Amino acid sequence: MDWNESPAQKLILPDLAGKTAVVTGTSHGIGKAVAKALLENGSRVFGLARSAGDLKQDGFMHCPCDLGDAAAIDRVFRTIEKEVSSLDFVVNVAGTDPKYSIDTITVGDWDRLVNLNLRGYYFVIKNALPLLRLGTGKSIVNVSSINYRLGVPGRAPYSATKAGIIGLTTGLSRELGRENIRINTISPGWTFTERQVQEYFSGEDETKHLEYLEHQQSIKLKITPEDIANHILFYLSAVSRASTAHNCVVDGGWILE
């Protein structure tokens, strides 16, 4: 069986229309796919990222922000507060995945990684809460990864942040649930973002990595950012109203969870 490389079907959920969302990491990859999917569903999107990227659609506002800087997160939400009186959704996607040997990593390396991949998630949620409490959607989705389950050499610091995201989600679920604010996690497997394709699925190593992926996944699907975005939309929409604190694994049947 050949690899399934067909595009993900577009998911249209009527209750997303007219809503307002904050999405981080919208300059590329999963964050960009989430922003586009929300815009196609009639939502307004504030995209928090260092660079603007090429997403230019009605209803989208790029908000420059270094998400590893807690003060910058605070400042960008002061800007958002001038634009809208409420928020419905928050989607934390932005992150980085460097490899660090335990013998070579520095305190600065660790702090930069944790500040972006984990601390940034928490302070985006904290700053969004005053507006989210006034919205009607009241849903948060955090993007983690299956990587913390895999034990990849050099990925321990990255894996720690991704495991921490799941702990952050469950840790906030009852606290926010008292206000009917839901919070869930999506944990993707190997996703064919622009950067992953460039680094792993092009050139002389493409065959090796595809063979490895074929061995790991249960289905021979090249998971796209749009596949992940569809799962995120489900957890934002009221169709998943009974779900909070979930960790939804989207990995083509890799870890079989």
d(CA 120, CA 168): 11
**How many residues are listed for the chain in this entry?**
257
Helix (H), strand (E) at residue 149 = none
107-114 and 156-177 helices cross at what angle (nearest 10)? 40
Q: From the candidates 121, 122, 158, 235, which is the catalytic residue?
A: 158
In angstroms, the CA 252 to CA 188 distance is 9
Q: What is the number of other CB atoms lying within 10 angstroms of the CB of residue 155?
A: 18
Strands (E) in 144-201, as ranges, are: 182-188
**Known catalytic residue: 200?**
no
Helix ranges (H only) for 57-140 are: 70-83, 107-114, 120-132
Catalytic site positions: 158
